[in-house]
Amino acid sequence: MNFPKDLKYTKEHEWVKVNGKEAAVGVTDHAQHELGDVVFVEVPEEGGEFSRGEGFAVIESVKAVSDVYAPVSGKVIRINEALADSPELINTDPYGQAWIAVFELSNLKELDDLMTADEYKKFLEEGEGE
């Protein structure tokens, strides 16, 4: 299992890559492993505004439909259109090509509530990620 140090993490298994007031969001290696073969991704529309904890995308494996929750509040300023034709990127490159959307952050303080790579790893090891 892979935990890039430069990312921040949520208990719902999303990752956040912060760049100034912008943040790219995706799901973790653990999440894609639990989901199994991903066959469909619904990304949000550009301009959509989401509050922290709100579902902003949907990932479907062969068997299940899963919501992806906004780890931070903000406006979607870019979406990853490649996921429409290549949903399997979620499985093959969860921290890279499978970014889902970039948010313009509306509350930078929310970033303090996210976990570091080490904290997320510990969170999973303690079994709270079930």
d(CA 7, CA 95): 9
Choose between 37 and 113: whose C-beta lies nearer to another protein.
37
Residues 25-54 that bind another protein (CB under 8 A): 36-37, 39-40, 42
Integer angstrom CA distances of residue 14 from 50, 63, 87: 15, 20, 16
Look up tokens 């959307």; give the residue.
Answer: 101
Residue pair 11/129 in contact by the 8 Å Cβ criterion: yes
- Tell me if 63 contacts another protein by CB under 8 A: yes
Residue 124 CB, nearest approach to another protein (Å): 17
- Tell me if 82 contacts another protein by CB under 8 A: no
Query: In the set 65, 96, 108, 118, which binds another protein (CB under 8 A)?
Result: 65
Query: In the set 62, 107, 113, 125, which binds another protein (CB under 8 A)?
Result: 62
- Tell me if 96 contacts another protein by CB under 8 A: no
Instruction: Provide the edge-to-edge strand list for the sheet that holds 8-9.
Output: 8-9, 14-19, 22-27, 101-105, 74-79, 49-50
Pairing of strands 49-50, 55-61: unpaired
Query: In the set 46, 53, 54, 84, which binds another protein (CB under 8 A)?
Result: 84
Residue 85 CB, nearest approach to another protein (Å): 10
- Contacts with another protein by CB under 8 A lie at 36-37, 39-40, 42, 58, 60-63, 65, 84
